[in-house]
Structure 1
């Protein structure tokens, strides 16, 4: 591997290699050059170039694109991330103080010249479904897409969803929490509950606080000023003031720092992909790279 194009270390690839599919289905041809193809996919998203402009080092660009499209549709990247999280939990690498937030990314014109009312579902039940709007919406910044993320206390991503740019943050909170599921290496139930959940005022609602309270998760979310004024106006009928760990809240910025890392890949900072499937899978692929680095030489 030419060091100019390589991102993955040998230790990282040792973690990822066993998670790659062996062939194109039961009767399909065996896949070749897994590492070269994965490095090619990473290079494209990191450099922010069209697929056609991939260096010849990676071989035909069509092969690299088709491999990413296939792995996006059959959930290969999600399965790889799930396996790495299982290993990380067993090694005690995951910090279960989680933070939730979203970031809006501008959609390039090359990624928006696609009808946003067709091309949704696939006829193959083994493939993930492409949303009808391709997770592109119109906000103040124009045509945008939003990445909703849940990260651990070390700013490493655990769950990532896509939504249109104008979509609200609060309605996605419960979906992110429900998607948090880390299987155990040995027998036992998968871990689905963090020790503490932190978010900014955009997530301040009675429903979210009740959801966390019912699950025994410490809630670290400040109260909005208008909610505070409304509660005070009601007097004793307004209920008790919202309390939260202010020292812990100072660590909520790990999710913002995680987005800074995410946007170092130029094709994630700006969305060039027409399909939400391939764009989100690249976000998951970056998480795979991060967690493989965190595990290092862990067996």
Structure 2
């Protein structure tokens, strides 16, 4: 069994050495040191890759409850968020972060195992406190059944900067400001955190006056095409309709990196389909998939 499971181990030794520096070494309650932390994290990645129930994890990874509880702890106390932020800061300090940010969302089908928790209609997520589980668990009903929607902001190379999870029937545009709020990159050389991209690329779903004003007020270049009906209404108003918004078609060609980022994330089966009851733990799995992408860049660098 161990030989079979070894083929699914994701992290190289160098990647694990970097990740280990960023993870807590004890439970923080009684000061007890975590044992076999690498094996436990590989168990999380194995489950993320295969999508199997937690209790069906191979014994190679130890007790399944240990793997689940640690993943749940890291999701709830913000550990995975801090790890992602630290890796992004390292990339920025090394000049490996492209600040031409792309934003988009993808719909994820909710498996019946993840849809049996009681839910009520929830509000938009509070991006200042992502540890709170939303009342609707980020699950909504649409023509495709029960779905969730993952909202992503990624850099110009398609690596994640900010991830939010909401109900599948919710619109993209109202989430735009919340996704951008999640971008906060510390400067390792000192100074204020960087929260303002050079430009933001997004499709027509994000073409609204509020979103354009938000970017304009923050001094961020908007690379968002205008909707056909918006353009027609502006023309019909004549001079009072104002000028068309600035749009850079060459820069917009780079927006496809966010689509490729979703394709890469959905190679992990527990990202492509939501098996988790809690939005917190599903989002943590999405973050973990993104962390692996940053480790591929940073973990093997000399």
TM-score range, shorter chain: over 0.9
> How many pairs does the alignment contain?
293
Q: Trace 1:131-210 onto structure 2 (pairs within 5 A).
A: 131-210=134-213
Deviation sequence 1:108-159 (CA, Å, 0-9, x none): 11100110139xxxxxxx9921111100001121100000000001010100
5+ residue gaps, structure 1, are 119-125
| Structure 2 gap segments, 5+ residues each | 122-128
Alpha-carbon distance, 1:224 to partner = 0.3
User: 1:129 corresponds to which residue?
Assistant: 132
Deviation sequence 1:203-224 (CA, Å, 0-9, x none): 0011111111111111100000
Deviating above 3 A after TM superposition, structure 1's stretches of 4 or more consecutive aligned residues are: none
How big is each residue's C-alpha offset from its partner over 1:231-264, in whole Å with a ceiling of 9 and x where there is no partner?
Answer: 0110010000122110111110100000001100
Which residue does 1:63 correspond to in 2? 66
Q: CA deviation at 1:5?
A: 2.6
Aligned equivalents of 1:25, 1:127: Cα separation in 2: 20
Q: Name the structure 2 match of 1:21.
A: 24
1:54 matches 2:57: yes
List aligned pairs for 1:265-280, cutoff 5 A.
265-280=268-283
Residues 158 and 183 from structure 1, CA distance in 2 versus in 1: closer, same or farther, beyond 3 angstroms?
same
Distance in structure 2 (CA, Å) of the matches to 1:50 and 1:27: 29
- Per-residue deviation, 1:28: 3.6
From 233, 243, 252, the equivalent of 2:246 is: 243
TM-score, normalised by the number of residues in structure 1: 0.94
In 2, Cα distance between equivalents of 1:15 and 1:244: 40
Are 1:81 and 2:84 an aligned pair?
A: yes
Q: Does 1:281 align with 2:275?
A: no
Q: Alignment RMSD, CA only?
A: 1.7
Q: Distance in 1 between matches of 2:30 and 2:55?
A: 30
TM-score (norm 2): 0.93
Q: How many Å separate the matches in 2 of 1:16 and 1:294?
A: 12
